[in-house]
A and B are shown apart, each in its own frame.
Chain A
Amino acid sequence: MGIETPGGPGYGGPLSFPNQPHSHPTPPSAGELLTASLGHNFVTTSVNKVVAWGRYNSMWPALFGLACCAIEMMGTGGPKFDMARFGAEVFRASPRQADLMIVAGRVSQKMAPVLRQIYDQMPEPKWVISMGACASCGGMFNNYAIVQGVDKVVPVDVYVPGCPPRPEALLDAVLKLQRKIRAQAVAAPAS
């Protein structure tokens, strides 16, 4: 085109610099005129995508650290594997203010009704990450005292294996959940 643009030759095209005089073989359309006059100051998207973006980028976990996995969950919130950069740093003690429940640790038979009650107290939308082997399937405790998987009590979105899972694994679970929320927004436009 003869127009030297910064950023390399791969950038831009006929409409990369608005309000620049250039020649068209065909008359410009309304959209092109709009883009030319206003530049790249507008983003178009759908409401679902924006809502989902807001939701998954600010998932607030409810404090539900039970046992050893809770220590690795705290480590994930620590400085090295910072969970705050994904928006999930604010651990709320009250389930009313949380939307993500990371069940971190083994759930005993006595604790199961409490788990269900906390889950019920969380407002919609809510998600559950089952962190660790004990939460996912009872782990190494195949006995009378431990509920063999929290999916017997609450519905689970993402399972994280490990005993305890590395902080990177938990971050991977959070990111997977983010992708899941994004995919659900695209797939279910009515919700």
Chain B
Amino acid sequence: MAPTELEEVRGVIAARLPGAVVGFDGTTPEGALLVQRERLIEVCRLLRDDGALQFKLALFCTAVDWLDREPRFDLVYQLRSLERGTTVRLKVGVPETPGEMPWIPSTTGVWQAMGWLEREVYDLFGIDFRGHPDQRRLMMPVDWEGHPLRKDYISFGEAVKFSDRESFAPDSAVPRGAPD
């Protein structure tokens, strides 16, 4: 999506919900709007319902784990408007607070397709989507412990030794998360 269209979307949001969009992420060619976590649902509703924008299609919801950054997680939402043929990307920073899971309000009420996409993020990153109607693990077995796509989750495999030289061996030989 050309930056000019992204600016247009940002302008519309700024007019209706001042202060919701806190920045612009220009690291990728498409660009993304940084949104505050508390105002996320309002912004999403506006993007969906506004006559000029009409972002009714939820393409994906994923997360990035910046292990040593504050906030730790970045939730990324990609939305598409079929009427206008444009796409917009939202990024929401989710901090990690000790004692509870990192949380974000669930956008399932706005786009029903986000239901499973958020379940996947919950399963693999351990982010609690408050208000999700059916939050349970999607990919991993139900009794799995741990959230595999977090950067501090060591993906165990087997230390494979080919003949007389040591080959790739992951850091930890002890399986994490697999119930015995």
| Direct A–B contact present (CB less than 8 angstroms) | yes
Which A residues fall within an 8 A CB radius of B?
Answer: 109-110, 137-138, 141-145, 148
Seed contacts A144-B176, A144-B177; 10 additional CB < 8 Å A-B pairs: A109-B141, A110-B139, A142-B158, A142-B170, A144-B153, A144-B155, A144-B156, A144-B175, A145-B139, A145-B148
CB of B160 within 8 A of chain A? Answer: yes
17 of the cross-chain contacts (CB-CB < 8 Å) are: A109-B140, A109-B144, A110-B140, A137-B160, A138-B157, A142-B157, A142-B158, A143-B155, A143-B157, A144-B155, A144-B156, A144-B177, A144-B178, A145-B139, A145-B140, A148-B157, A148-B158
Whole-angstrom distance between the Cβ of A94 and the nearest chain B Cβ: 25
CB of B66 within 8 A of chain A? Answer: no
Residue of B nearest to A112 (CB): B141
User: DSSP majority for the B interface?
Assistant: loop
A138 CA to B148 CA, complexed, in Å: 18
User: DSSP majority for the A interface?
Assistant: loop
Closest 10 CB pairs between A and B?
Answer: A142-B157, A143-B155, A148-B158, A110-B141, A144-B155, A144-B148, A143-B157, A144-B156, A109-B141, A148-B157
A137 CA to B162 CA, complexed, in Å: 12
Chain B residues contacting A144 (CB-CB under 8 Å) are 148, 153, 155-157, 175-178
Chain B residues contacting A142 (CB-CB under 8 Å) are 157-158, 160, 168, 170
Whole-angstrom distance between the Cβ of A127 and the nearest chain B Cβ: 25
Chain B residues contacting A138 (CB-CB under 8 Å) are 157-158
Whole-angstrom distance between the Cβ of A76 and the nearest chain B Cβ: 28
Q: Which of B141, B148, B177 has the most CB of A within 10 A?
A: B141
> Which B residues from 121 to 155 make CB contacts under 8 A with A?
139-141, 144, 148, 153, 155
- Given A142-B168, A142-B170, A145-B148: A109 and B178 interface contact (C-beta under 8 Å): yes
Whole-angstrom distance between the Cβ of B163 and the nearest chain A Cβ: 14
Chain A residues contacting B157 (CB-CB under 8 Å) are 138, 141-144, 148
Whole-angstrom distance between the Cβ of A149 and the nearest chain B Cβ: 8
A137 CA to B176 CA, complexed, in Å: 19
Residue of A nearest to B160 (CB): A142
